[in-house]
Amino acid sequence: MASGEALTSSGYIVHHLTNLKVGEGFWTFHLDTLLVSGIIGLIAFLGMARIARKATSGVPGAIQSFVEIVLTFIDQQVKDTYHGRSPLVTPMAVTIFIWVFLMNAMDLIPVDFLPLILGTVGVHYFKAVPTTDPNLTFAMSLTVFATMLIMGVKVKGVGGFLHEVFCVPFGAKLAPLNLLFRIIEDIAKPISLSLRLFGNMYAGEMVFILIALLGVWQLPLALPWALFHILIITLQAFVFMMLTIVYLSMASESHG
């Protein structure tokens, strides 16, 4: 693309999976991931704020009704899963579900649409789906992990938290073994949380790219896959949200 030459199939795939980058090494920033996720987050925030301002206690409009259904559904999931009391969990669950869903939904835009537009202004690499970037999914999972630890200390106190770390499940005499198991358990949570979202969305994007290689024959496959993919992007947002609630619930409960 950058050279204006026709790409081979492998070159086409690599081109669509290359981020718009700046910097080198550890300090490499994926500008497309940062821009798209930030813009989507801002749109979601402003959109929800606008709906809240216009909300009425009378007969609601279609958009208000839909939002109320989504919020009621998420709030019920929190009540069924999180067994403590925290004003943070439901707003965090709502934010995660809506934000992740909208970022996933970028995968429904035809794979060549944005690259062709941006190519006219000299931007030759641009990944439009932030959740196909492991940097973003890991950043989100680490935020959940940090919240989990902070909530655990807040609910149980420093003494209770340390007691759980060193004394569960085998008692104080096997504190080193308890600590080892706790470290493995806690490290597995953000890794599994991030890789599950990244893997599913990356695979979905790869399927769209492979279908796009069919040229004019892609429509019979692209449309059914896009319709099926709506289920995937919704399910992955729901799974990320539910695992977050579960992890926060586990952090708030006493295990010893």
Of the residues 196, 249, 252, 254, which is catalytic?
Answer: 196
196 is catalytic: yes
Q: 232 is written with which tokens?
A: 């995937």
Of the residues 200, 249, 252, 254, which is catalytic?
Answer: 200
182 is catalytic: no
Of the residues 9, 65, 192, 254, which is catalytic?
Answer: 192
Tell me how far apart the alpha carbons of residues 243 and 193 are, in angstroms, rounded to a whole number. 7
200 is catalytic: yes
Whether the CA torsion 33, 38, 39, 40 is positive or negative: it is positive
Residues identified as active-site: 192, 196, 200
